Structure 1
Amino acid sequence: MKILHVVTTLDVGGAEMHLLSQVRGQCARGHSVRMVFLKGEGRLTEDFLAAGAEWVGQVPATRPFGLWSHLRWAELVHSHLLKADVLTAVMATLAGRRRCLVSGKHNDEQVLKRPLVGAVHAVIGRLPRLTIVLSDHVGRFVERYGHVPLRRQARVYYGLDPEPFERAAAAPFAERMDLRAELGLGRGDVVFTCVARFAPQKAHDVLLRGFAAARKSFGPRLRLLLVGDDPFGDGRQRAEAVAAELGLGDAVVFAGIRRDVAQILAASDVFVMASLWEGLGLVFLEAMATSLPVLATDVSAVPEVVVDGQTGVLVPPSDAEALARAMAELAQSADRRHELGRAGHLRVLEHFGLDRMVDETLHHYESVARSS
């Protein structure tokens, strides 16, 4: 099958990393894949080419007819993220390719709550033959605010290959401690790590305030490692300003974008994120595959991934005090951290496998292609 993916950006993010896994699996199964992105630096271009994509390139949203030849080539078109969804739906309709169009919803896009945006999506969102959502929560959200009924949706949970994370977790203790030292972290520190874009959705300010409060009760061995950046804004600078306001100094490490996330997770003690909403959260699966306990907020689809009290701890969103209490409690008990981490690893193996994700997605593609 000739598969065209159109995505808003091809920079490092959860949706983009999920799509990379999909493309790798689709190419391994003999399908031809092309990738189009609309904006950004395209930092993952070489990764997609290495995964087997035959062509990867940018088509700016200001020049939408650059999509035309790719749409005519494709037997199945799959758009990802809201801007790409809108542009691709319009262009695919004009190119006579609507019948082979699939939309992918990777998040509960809050902009759909705006009445005008929701009304436009009620028209544009029904152009694809099928909308693939990554969680039950996102499906309900898209039905309510995007006006795409459940009968026109299919839920396919994210999946991942746990092997790189398991391998990182099994690395010699000395290697993991060397990485800590490189990052300015001590062997005896209790390290909470967040891997996320510095976007308002991720609520780094709440995380930093919760961490500051937890450090007052636990002590200076509590450290916070923040991995990621904000390629489209000043989110990181604003988080750094909050850390300075709280007087956290070198208690917080801003590591930027890293390609050794598996190794960083394996050198950590707890994964933490204070999201205000999440479509699913691929990084939660990565942390669980590394046998890390997860401390997160009880929002959106997070409870579909992280089972409170079994694989991690969930707290209310925007509640720095509750986050601080949970951080302090987890910091004080290595046994509790190990128990939650082991259960999380098992949950990933049982419910979020990579082959299942790829095969389920291709099954839906084939159904759409057969009926087009």
Structure 2
Amino acid sequence: MRVGLLTREYPPDVYGGAGVHVEFLARELGRLVDLDVHCWGEGHADNVRRHRSWSALDGANDALRTFSVDLAMTAALQGRDLVHSHTWYANLGGHLAKLLYGVPHVVTAHSLEPLRPWKAEQLGGGYALSSWAERTAIEAADAVVAVSGAMREDILRCYPALEESRVHVVHNGIDTDLYRPDHGTDALDRVGLDRTRPYVLFVGRITRQKGVPHLLRAVRDIDPGVQVGLCAGAPDTPEIDREFRELFAELSAAREGVHWIPKMLPRPEVIQLLTHAAVFVCPSVYEPLGIVNLEAMACGTPVVASRVGGIPEVVADGETGVLVDLDDDFEAGLTRALDAVVGDTAAARRMGEAGRERAVGEFGWDAVARRTVRLYEGILGEA
């Protein structure tokens, strides 16, 4: 079976959960099918073909530049038996390949444009184009993969023209051999964390979706002896970047031990920071699943997260962490939950151990890849 996998992010250019998903899914799929990966960037190697936007569109709206990459991907997909696209950045390429070559198209939905209206800040009028591309590809796809049960419900609500039978749940995965407790401390020393004091850790992009402003306000009032680690970068817009910097300055003036790491850290350093955190926090306002919660759990760390989207399918409330309702009391709820977990080290240790066990037992990438291949086989058998 010859499969073309289409994505914006691929190593070494991975900055979000969708990129992590594709990286590990591709590794496992490559053992099961004849796989070519098509992604953004320059150059080709090891069944990975990178495509850049057309130079004639330099300076144009990002949506138009994205479409030019999609056209280049489509042209390179001839000879594939099936194409599988991830995120709106690649969906149009998969849809056009379906039409041009008469092959099935599978879409994995990591998020949905109708549920991310703040993207209009980033894309301007391009948001209408990204929304059109996603809708067109999803409604015509032979199969749509939802990364959680909650995501499946969102897809069917946003795109009611889509037949329910074409939407399949295949959860995100985690490499628990890679993501495992690392008790070294050199990464902590490099970022300036005091090893004698507990810390709350956030890892994610500076976006509305990730709820970073909520977090910065919530941690103002946690136990003053607790440090705050923010591995936060890649702001979506100048506006959210400015808001983050203002809130960070206010937080730093109000309490000690606030550490902002704005650059993308190497994965081994992130694993070490996750391992030593007293609690990992995920304050997302929208999250189809949240791979980063799985990463924290695999490192044996309890999680405090918002009760949205697919997060409750990962974080077992009261067992591997604490879920906080996204309501008018959300920020105060985050404060209370963080203090409760940090303040009860025995319970936190039990949650961390249970989280590691859950990640190992239920979310391995090899199982995700096998389920994905069975989906391909079912589609090709029907074709």
TM-score range, shorter chain: 0.7 to 0.9
Report the counterpart of residue 123 of structure 2 in structure 1: none
1:32 pairs with one of 35, 41, 48:
35
Q: Contact 2:5/2:35 (CA < 8 Å) preserved in 1?
A: no
Q: Contact 2:91/2:134 (CA < 8 Å) preserved in 1?
A: no
Report the counterpart of residue 185 of structure 1 in structure 2: 193
Identity %: 25
1:242-257 matches, within 5 Å, as 242-246=247-251, 247-248=253-254, 251-256=257-262, 257=264
Report the counterpart of residue 363 of structure 1 in structure 2: 374
1:234-273 matches, within 5 Å, as 234=238, 235-246=240-251, 247-248=253-254, 251-256=257-262, 257-259=264-266, 260-273=269-282
Give the Å deviation of 1:14.
Answer: 0.4
- Looking at structure 1, the residues matched to 258 and 245 of structure 2 have their Cα atoms a distance apart, in angstroms, of 9
Letter in 2 for 1:369: L
Give the Å deviation of 1:258.
Answer: 0.9
- 1:57 aligned onto 2:32: no
Judged with a 3 Å threshold, the aligned counterparts in structure 2 of structure 1 residues 262 and 121 are, in CA distance, closer, same or farther, namely closer
Give the Å deviation of 1:294.
Answer: 0.3
- Looking at structure 1, the residues matched to 215 and 247 of structure 2 have their Cα atoms a distance apart, in angstroms, of 10
- Looking at structure 1, the residues matched to 270 and 331 of structure 2 have their Cα atoms a distance apart, in angstroms, of 26
Letter in 2 for 1:131: V
1:68-83 matches, within 5 Å, as 68-83=74-89
Kindly provide the CA deviation profile for residues 303-355 of structure 1, in whole angstroms up to 9, marking residues without a partner as x.
Answer: 11101101100112261111111111112121111011011111112211111
Q: In the comparison of the two structures, how many residue pairs are matched?
A: 350
- Looking at structure 2, the residues matched to 119 and 112 of structure 1 have their Cα atoms a distance apart, in angstroms, of 14
1:126 pairs with one of 117, 139, 145:
139
Report the counterpart of residue 6 of structure 1 in structure 2: 6
Q: Contact 1:61/1:87 (CA < 8 Å) preserved in 2?
A: no
Report the counterpart of residue 288 of structure 1 in structure 2: 297
Structure 1 segments of 4+ aligned residues over 6 angstroms from their partners? 116-120
Q: Contact 2:8/2:19 (CA < 8 Å) preserved in 1?
A: no
- Looking at structure 1, the residues matched to 170 and 326 of structure 2 have their Cα atoms a distance apart, in angstroms, of 26
1:149 pairs with one of 151, 163, 171:
163
1:164-183 matches, within 5 Å, as 164-166=178-180, 169-171=181-183, 175-176=184-185, 178-183=186-191
Give the Å deviation of 1:30.
Answer: 5.0
Letter in 2 for 1:207: L
Judged with a 3 Å threshold, the aligned counterparts in structure 2 of structure 1 residues 305 and 208 are, in CA distance, closer, same or farther, namely same
1:206 pairs with one of 194, 203, 214:
214
1:278-357 matches, within 5 Å, as 278-317=287-326, 319-357=330-368
5+ residue gaps, structure 2, are: 54-64, 121-127
Judged with a 3 Å threshold, the aligned counterparts in structure 2 of structure 1 residues 112 and 329 are, in CA distance, closer, same or farther, namely closer
Letter in 1 for 2:338: M
Give the Å deviation of 1:35.
Answer: 1.6
Give the Å deviation of 1:197.
Answer: 0.7
Judged with a 3 Å threshold, the aligned counterparts in structure 2 of structure 1 residues 86 and 248 are, in CA distance, closer, same or farther, namely farther
Give the Å deviation of 1:366.
Answer: 1.9
Report the counterpart of residue 228 of structure 1 in structure 2: 232
What is the SS of the residue equivalent to 1:258? Answer: coil
Letter in 1 for 2:50: V
